[in-house]
Structure 1
Amino acid sequence: MSEIGMALSNDASDPAARMAGSVGKPLPSVDVRLADPNNVDVTNVPGASGMIQVKGPSVFTEYYGLPDKTAKEFTKDGWFITGDIGTRDAEGRYYIMGRESVDIIKSGGYKLSALEIERELLDHPSIADVAVVGTPSAEWGEAVAAAVVLRAGAVLPMDDLKPWCYARMAHYKAPKQLRTVDVLPRNLMGKLDKKAVKKLFEKY
């Protein structure tokens, strides 16, 4: 992030030790922790997810001329709030679930990572690109919805996607809605525009 530079990294000297999906461990002189919604440190709680917070000499001091915004982005004890939700394994490796605002889907009492589901769906032989979002659901709170760009000549009905997903992920993570598009909406930086993706399902 611009505000912190690099904070986490895999060990370049031992590529074999890397774990799929992990962003690694804190760099020297950098401290990283996970905090629950009450800002309680849950870094060492097995299976817990939390807001990734960072402290160290590389962390910026302030947003110039914006004291209110600066105060909002730091905890009272001086940790920078990244806006990303993550987890940590027993070996100290961190995993980013995604931005709290757009990548965390609260469905059926679970906090699901849209990024994790997207990685799985990209392994499907018919899918060239994908964006996963949460859509309002009376039953689930939010339902997992996937907008996909198919490979040339491919066809992918929901009845075919469901069993493929069930063999690779928990049933509650599998998309409940599927929309095929020619291209996914992106911003000027090339990043997925998840708000625009959600609008694809408003009348679907």
Structure 2
Amino acid sequence: NKGFIKGFEADLETLAAHPHPEDGFAGMEIRGDVLTDKENAGAALLDACKEVKGSEPVQIGSYRGFTMSVEFSAWKQEYTLLLKGQMTHRASLGTDPRGNLTRIDNALAQMPQRLEAVKNQLDNLYQQQAAAKEEIGKPFPFEDDLRVKSARLVELDTLLNIDGKGHAQPETVVAKSARPSVLDSLKRPVPPRSPEKKPKQHEEVR
């Protein structure tokens, strides 16, 4: 978020204000001692790590404007240095004194990339927010279809003369009552049938 961006920007300013001298070492403060020699600083850092036994960070000094704390992972069997400014920057420590100093500087050098990643995430969130607002403002995608089908349903209801209670409209009843009744036709007298003429019998000719 915006707080992360401000934090990284502030830490970058702190780092720029505490550069290494040309072909030199900015120095490291450990347990109150300021060490300007890389070898001595690296060795003192390893000694300080040996006193840390748990995962809770223990503050041991400062480096280039950042406070330094060390934590130990029993699962990984590894020490991690935490450099704290507005944000926290981590570096895994090994057994090489000078190598650890290089790892620490590399962790601090990653700040611009981390800042850029946070900015990209924030931009992505803004884009998603804008897209969501745009979707909310759009009409229901099937609204026109629903309107057409609703109108057709009303039309069909009218054609079927449904009054809402499942009964036919009066005019439909009248129309049906005007039809000739089947019972009436059955009650009419049957006209007399004319006598049937017996067919002539023909002799068989052999």
TM-score (norm 1): 0.22
Higher relative strand content = 1
Higher relative contact order (CA 8 A, sep 6+): 2
TM-score (norm 2): 0.22
Higher Rg of the two aligned structures: 2
Higher relative helix content = 2
